[in-house]
Structure 1
Amino acid sequence: MSIQNLSTEFDVIVVGGSYAGLSAATQLARARRRVLVIDAGQRRNRYAQHSHGFLGQDGREAAAIAAEGKQQLRKYPTVQWLAGAAAQATRLGQGFRVTLSDGRGVDAQALVLATGVVDELPALPGLAERWGTSVFHCPYCHGYELMQGHIGVMAVGPLSMHHAMMLPDWGRVTLFLNEAFAPDPEQLAALAARGVTIEPAAVKRISGHATVELADGRALEMAGLFVVSRTHSGSPLAEQLGCEMEEGPTGLFVRTDAMKATSVAGVFACGDSARAAGNVAMAVADGAMAGVAAHRLTIFGAQAA
């Protein structure tokens, strides 16, 4: 959809065209609501080739799942799709105005924010280049494919204890402290009970597939590495609108209720930007709920949210 042919008034604007946004927009399209999806094309799992743990789609290419969802959505005649960025969102009477990156405004009665998050990785040479291929954050998404091999956990702080305690169900785990985390005696005992090897030496770089090069000259080959990323919202819209935020273990996320309504009436949020942790299956479920709730608002008003 070129911007020249874009309508300016919609029932609902969905910002974000990944799994959560697609799911929300599909519910609205099936209710024959006029929907605009604004998508900047920054799907969080674009670095991963395959998606796992999503019922009926296990092992399928992540990009193919999103592409098929988009294709199916765009068959609905009340949907318009804009490949681009939403720069600003403001209250406009009983609804909202979203300003696009070129300055043009589009209006709607309700907004669904499915803007995702951006992962911030430790500044360790070789780590970012392997993100999504041999460096991961979600054991449920990627642990099984490591075939019970040697798995490394790159410590970034106390939260890495969680990774180290979980991952022995998927392989033989080494926790690389890397001067970022010092387990106390109780934690050391818990790690030992789970069979976790502790490696205290500093890490110099990651090379090869997932080889951890240590400052003392040793190189330990791993089937895969896990690291806790810090996250921040992929868009400033929620904060611009005044949505309440909540501090999660890896960063701020938008606070919502069970119907995915934010603290701002008429604004809904779903996907990774609106929960402390997530995956594709959770994003799709959240999006469906947000889409249904936004539809209810177009009928009954803010009291329905």
Structure 2
Amino acid sequence: MKSDFAVIGGSYAGLAAALQLARARRQVLVVDAGRRRNQCVDDHHGHAHGFLTQDGRAPGAIAEEARTQLRRYPSVQWLDGLAEDARVAADGRLEFRVGAVTVSAGRLILALGVRDELPPVPGLAERWGRSVFHCPYCHGYEMDRGRIGIIAASPLAQHHGLMLPDWGEPTLFLNGTYAPGDEELDAFARRGTRVEPTPIARIEGHADVVLQDGRTLAMSGLFTQPRTSLSSPIAAQLGCAMEEGPMGPFIKVGPMQDTSVPKVFACGDAARAAGSVTLAVSDGAMAGLGAHRSTMV
């Protein structure tokens, strides 16, 4: 199967990239394995926030409407499945396999997404996307200025400790992860963040933190710092340069979302240190524009 452009990943970033190419009347193939990062929010009947005109909608509904609109363009093809075995062919085209189908594209956009690895606290993963989150801008408002628990997974927790007082009354549970220095403790005190050194036994109820000394602290919600990894080895197979971010590695890109590999672009959570639906759509649109403009050079 040949296409002018191929987009690997049919979530927000990939859809936004493909839309720009479709509107440029270019042939574009979207390959999607159906592994949207915020699927857990839909699973818990939650909502996306902070995305202009879509605030409060279910993430799956936003993605489904975007897919429906995109597939109305006659130059768009859609292929369900997992992209594997990517390489740069001898003629400079980008090739990969989806099941028994070999795809050859003139330009390739990687909207691969990432996987989240949560700290190993019993009961935490079951509440991910329902009462446990990582982005205050996405979910902090819904805490309604209540008690917010921050479960430290790394020293990155200090940023949550300093940010979240704008959304409620935070308690930073160190959980044996790291020991804040005196300057950090002073900053937490100025911001009104309480620090709890007692390790966590488990999470119960909506967001109740049960400590190993027997105390239970009820919270309106919990925030933590997942470790992220790319959801596909495609970028590594192609030789794309990577950067190490505070949450995990991501694909290094230029101003037009171009990677270190000619004719390969990347966008979304896989190509930035931290992301959201809004940022994914913005990066995806830029990747589509960048890929299209690269054909004019």
TM-score by length of 2: 0.97
Confirm or deny: 8 A CA contact 1:114 1:269 kept in the other structure: yes
* CA distance in structure 1 between the aligned counterparts of 2:78 and 2:120, rounded to whole angstroms: 36
2:35 maps to 1:42: yes
Query: How many Å separate the matches in 2 of 1:73 and 1:207?
Result: 42
CA distance in 1, matches of 2:140, 2:186: 24
How far is the alpha carbon of 1:293 from its aligned partner? 1.0
**Cα drift, residue 227 of structure 1:** 0.3
Shift of 1:16: 0.2
Question: Secondary structure, in 3 states, of the residue corresponding to 2:67?
Answer: helix
- For residue 103 of structure 1, report the CA deviation from its aligned partner: 3.5
Give the drift of 1:181. Answer: 1.6
Partners of 1:249 and 1:151 in 2: how far apart? 22
- Counterpart Cα distance in 2 of 1:254 and 1:111: 14
> Which digits, 9 at most, give the CA deviation of each residue in 1:66-120, with x for residues without a partner?
00000000000111111110012111212111111x2420111010000100000
Match of 2:5 in 1: 12
The question of 1:152 aligning with 2:149 is answered yes
| Map of 2:192 onto structure 1 | 195
Q: Secondary structure at the match of 2:94?
A: strand
Match of 2:127 in 1: 130
Once residues 17 and 226 of structure 2 are traced to their aligned partners in structure 1, the CA distance between those partners, rounded to angstroms, is 26
* Residues 119-142 of structure 1: CA deviation (Å, up to 9, x unaligned): 000111100010011000000000
Alignment partner, residue 95 of structure 1? 93
Q: How does 1:149-298 map to 2 (within 5 A)?
A: 149-298=146-295
Tell me which of 40, 64, 68 is aligned to 1:67.
64
Structure 1: runs of 5 or more not aligned: 1-7, 301-305
Residue 38 of structure 2 aligns to a residue in which SS? Answer: helix
1:83 and 2:69 correspond: no
Bigger Cα displacement from structure 2, 163-172 vs 180-189: 180-189
What letter matches 1:202 in structure 2? Answer: P
**2:180, 2:291 → 1: CA distance?**
46
Give secondary structure in 1 for the equivalent of 2:184. Answer: helix
Structure 1 residue 33: Cα displacement: 1.1
Distance 1:108 1:156 in 2: 40
Structure 2 equivalent of residue 33 of structure 1: 26
Asked if the contact 1:109–1:298 (Cα under 8 Å) also holds between the matched residues in 2, the reply is: no
Distance 2:104 2:296 in 1: 17
The whole-number CA distance in structure 2 between the counterparts of 1:161 and 1:176 is 11
Residue 264 of structure 1 aligns to a residue whose secondary structure is: coil
Instruction: Give 3-state SS (helix, strand or coil) of 2:69's partner.
Output: helix
Which has the larger displacement, 270-279 or 176-185? 176-185
Q: In structure 1, what is the equivalent of residue 117 of structure 2?
A: 120
Give 1:265 shift: 0.5
Partners of 2:61 and 2:100 in 1: how far apart?
Answer: 32
- Aligned partner of residue 44 in structure 1, secondary structure: coil
Amino acid paired to 2:189: A
Give the whole-Å Cα distance in 2 for the aligned partners of 1:74 and 1:122.
Answer: 39
4+ residue segments displaced more than 3 Å:
none
SS in 2 for 1:161: helix
* Structure 2 Cα separation of the partners of residues 299 and 85 of structure 1: 30
8 Å CA contact retained: 1:120, 1:230:
yes
CA drift of 1:297 comes to 2.2
Give the letter for the 1:246 counterpart: E
**For 1:187-217, what per-residue CA distance to the aligned partner results, in whole angstroms no more than 9, with x for missing partners?**
1100000011111111000110000010011
Counterpart of 1:217 in 2: which secondary structure?
coil
1:22 has 2:15 as partner: yes
* Stretches of structure 2 lacking an aligned partner (at least 5 in a row): none
Amino acid corresponding to residue 67 of structure 1 in structure 2 = E
Q: Give the Cα separation in 2 of the matches to 1:157 and 1:294.
A: 37
Identical pairs, percent: 59
